[in-house]
Structure 1
Amino acid sequence: MRMIIDHRTVQVVFADLQDSVVDLSGTNSPEVIRRSAGVLGKVAQMLNIPFTVSVAPRPGGPGVLAELPQAPPFVRGGPCCWDDRAWREAIAARARRTLVICGVTSEIVVLHTALDALAGGYDVIVPVDACGGMSERTENAAFRQIEAAGGTVTSVAGLVTGMVRDFTDPTGRDVITALHGLMG
């Protein structure tokens, strides 16, 4: 299936992309996650795509990745962004029906947020290079669940080039330059 996405329908969810959590990834390296999430954040800002940052409570504060665009984080108490009423209301208020969800861990916060969003009528896209899991087997199982429920699993590059199809205009040139940052 060819992926063409109207960026005006998209909002991005950065979930548990905190230094102390990202370092625990057993699949993608912390560097890949930081780089991929950072590029996704840059592109979101270039295209005026709204985003939220949802974090798990951690000793010493949220510790959100420096690579992400700055925003006040939603601190939730459980394994799923959807369970946080304030976060859910912020998502609904934007009236953008495509959620791009990335974070650590894929088997917990990404999986449960994606499944609840799909059940809530949202389209869901998960860029795997901006996610980290506990193990390849368990992460792949989570991605299969998301796909079976109707979500799309792709990469940051696949997502972005599904939204920006012309690299000859100024925005397109900026986007392709940002994508080069994936090849660190």
Structure 2
Amino acid sequence: MAQPFTPSDSALVLIDHQFGTMQLIKTLPLEQVTRNTLALARAAQILHIPAVLTSSQEDQLQGAMLPELEPFLPNAFASRVRRLGVVNAWDDPAFAAAVEGLGRRNLIMAGVTTDVCLVYPAITAVERGYQVQAVMDASGSPFELSEEMARQRMRDAGVVLTATNTMIAELAHDWSRPGGMDLLELLFTKVLPPIQPAAARA
């Protein structure tokens, strides 16, 4: 990774954070993954970072996309790419067009599960010339072995592995900047009371 990610050159990509697929996560506590995913969404909202959300077969075992994402990313949630079942999201033309249409070359990616839904699109994004940071604590797998193998494949392909707090701090750069205190508050509330949209706190 040549340069740190900034809000002006980054986009958030959340893949298959759906009720059914989330139940498959065994490598991290489900609540932790959920809270980290929502924290990424809230950080994107604070910093005006564009986002693409995608789901697969919401009417099947994978289930509906987490509704808690909608208050933070209402436009991305409404226009989420609903794939018909393709595993690598990049193989869906609507997903590829949505990401490419953002015009951002730095992608912050998380997916459920890591070993199926995140590994392939993260690697493909690097192959297409994007810089990618995969947020590992907003992702997870059913098995430790498959999680580690997916991480190894991503590292070998040039994907940078990171965590939610580290990613948010990198984007903030300076807590005194506009929105910096909101981000700092986010890091505290992520492990304390439930995160709520700004409108709900007003």
Report which stretch shifted further, 3-12 or 157-166.
Answer: 3-12
Q: Gapped runs of 5+ residues in structure 2?
A: 193-202
State the aligned residue count. Answer: 184
SS of 2:87's partner is: coil
Distance in 2 (alpha carbons) for counterparts of 1:110 and 1:154:
14
Equivalent pair of 2:27/2:144 in contact (CA under 8 Å): yes
Alignment partner, residue 199 of structure 2: none
- 1:32 maps to amino acid: Q
Alignment partner, residue 19 of structure 1: 19
Alignment partner, residue 113 of structure 1: 121
Alignment partner, residue 35 of structure 2: 35
Equivalent pair of 1:127/1:155 in contact (CA under 8 Å): yes
Alignment partner, residue 68 of structure 2: 67
Aligned-pair distance for 1:59? 2.5
Tell me the TM-score normalized by structure 2: 0.85
Q: 1:170 to 1:9 in 2, by over 3 A?
A: closer
Report which stretch shifted further, 142-151 or 60-69.
Answer: 60-69
What value does the CA root-mean-square deviation take over the aligned residues?
1.8
Alignment partner, residue 56 of structure 2: 56
Distance in 1 (alpha carbons) for counterparts of 2:58 and 2:150:
24
Selected match of 2:94 from 82, 86, 91: 86
Equivalent pair of 1:34/1:130 in contact (CA under 8 Å): yes
Alignment partner, residue 197 of structure 2: none
Aligned-pair distance for 1:3? 7.1
Equivalent pair of 2:21/2:63 in contact (CA under 8 Å): no
Distance in 2 (alpha carbons) for counterparts of 1:138 and 1:166:
36
SS of 2:67's partner is: coil
Equivalent pair of 1:39/1:181 in contact (CA under 8 Å): no
Moved over 3 A (4+): none
Alignment partner, residue 102 of structure 1: 110
SS of 1:11's partner is: strand
Alignment partner, residue 8 of structure 2: 8
Aligned-pair distance for 1:84? 0.9
SS of 2:65's partner is: coil
Distance in 2 (alpha carbons) for counterparts of 1:156 and 1:169:
19
Tell me the TM-score normalized by structure 1: 0.93
* Superposed CA offset, 1:47-91 (max 9, x none): 111111111103269511123133222111211110110110111
Report which stretch shifted further, 36-45 or 95-104.
Answer: 95-104
Distance in 2 (alpha carbons) for counterparts of 1:63 and 1:145:
28
Distance in 1 (alpha carbons) for counterparts of 2:44 and 2:128:
23
Distance in 2 (alpha carbons) for counterparts of 1:7 and 1:32:
24
- 1:48 maps to amino acid: H
Report which stretch shifted further, 22-31 or 44-53.
Answer: 22-31
Equivalent pair of 2:126/2:132 in contact (CA under 8 Å): yes
Aligned-pair distance for 1:4? 2.6
